Structure 1
């Protein structure tokens, strides 16, 4: 398959790219820099340009998204907007624009996270955005054209990221990033749709 991987340079994206290439897929990477295609997923025009460059693909996988990390009392309206655009609306736009352009049996795999179901301090915007993505996946699954599929991967904190994020995820059981990468493989190569693969 020809797969467009958005957010290919992060911890998760690198692992997903390796897992897909091991399976023999042709992976086209897209991110802000150092990728086959430059894209800013918060900008719909940039997403449009990405699809024009990528051509027809058999799957779109996203491992990108950003949110502000602040206490609720410190969050501004702009923070909330930035988080929703950075993690939720950007991925919705990938699907909205991509569906008419990808192959008729293509799949979309989005990224959410454990905070949709198990919030942490300063993670309000992340929980909000993750929950929105998961609701969108379930809804879009019944409205996408026949044979197109959509799922999301919802990982906990990665073992590889404990040095950076471990203090925020006290008591959470970390998982190696490769487990989440395998969930992307399952979503792309499998037949399920509307699923949230919790890691």
Structure 2
């Protein structure tokens, strides 16, 4: 398969590349490095990447950021930033990818869609919206579409562990295997919850 991996330079993206790259041709794209540069908040950037890669069997997205702040400090711009990046960015990958992707889309959400934390209101909002989009899009898309929804990664506990008290961490390789299940499997409209 030819797979376009978005967000390939991050912790999750590198793990996804490691498991997919042994069996498939993986074209990497990210803001900072990779085969191609992409900014998922910019529809023109997404269009340029699709124009360059042509037809692919699958798109795997491991990108999308959101602000983390106490609810009382969040501004309208903070909410817009999270929605624009993680939700609309991934939706735009699907919208534009409809004519370039023959097999599947795999998007990234997260545990905060179902288990909120302090300072995580924007993440809960966007992850929940994204998971709902995946279920709805599966009804209409000819391609398959799924989301991977992990908890905090074991490898990121030093940086993020204090924000997730009592949460069971998962190794990033477990999330990477969920991408394999989504891409190589047959299911659609699924949210693969880890942790």
Q: Determine which of 155, 160, 180 is the counterpart of 1:185.
A: 180
Q: Where do residues 35-184 of structure 1 align in structure 2 (5 Å cutoff)?
A: 35-103=34-102, 106-145=103-142, 148-184=143-179
Separation (CA, whole Å) in 2 of partners of 1:55 and 1:101:
6
The structural deviation recorded for 1:6 is 0.1
Length-normalised TM-score, structure 1: 0.96
The structural deviation recorded for 1:143 is 0.8
Separation (CA, whole Å) in 2 of partners of 1:152 and 1:21:
20
Tell me what 2:16 maps to.
16
Q: CA RMSD of the aligned region, Å?
A: 0.6
Separation (CA, whole Å) in 1 of partners of 2:165 and 2:188:
32
- Figure out how many residues of one structure are paired with residues of the other and give that number: 194
Tell me what 1:3 maps to.
3
The structural deviation recorded for 1:68 is 0.6
The structural deviation recorded for 1:113 is 0.2
Separation (CA, whole Å) in 2 of partners of 1:61 and 1:184:
7
Question: What does the per-residue CA deviation read over 1:72-102, in whole Å, with 9 as the maximum and x for residues that have no partner?
Answer: 1111111100010111110000000001122
Separation (CA, whole Å) in 1 of partners of 2:180 and 2:148:
10
Q: Moved runs in structure 1, 4+ residues, more than 6 A?
A: none
Separation (CA, whole Å) in 2 of partners of 1:26 and 1:35:
14
1:40 is paired with a residue whose SS is: coil
The structural deviation recorded for 1:176 is 0.4
Separation (CA, whole Å) in 1 of partners of 2:153 and 2:76:
30
Separation (CA, whole Å) in 1 of partners of 2:115 and 2:66:
16
Length-normalised TM-score, structure 2: 0.98
Specify every segment of 5 or more residues in structure 2 that has no aligned partner in the other structure, as ranges. Answer: none
Separation (CA, whole Å) in 1 of partners of 2:111 and 2:188:
20
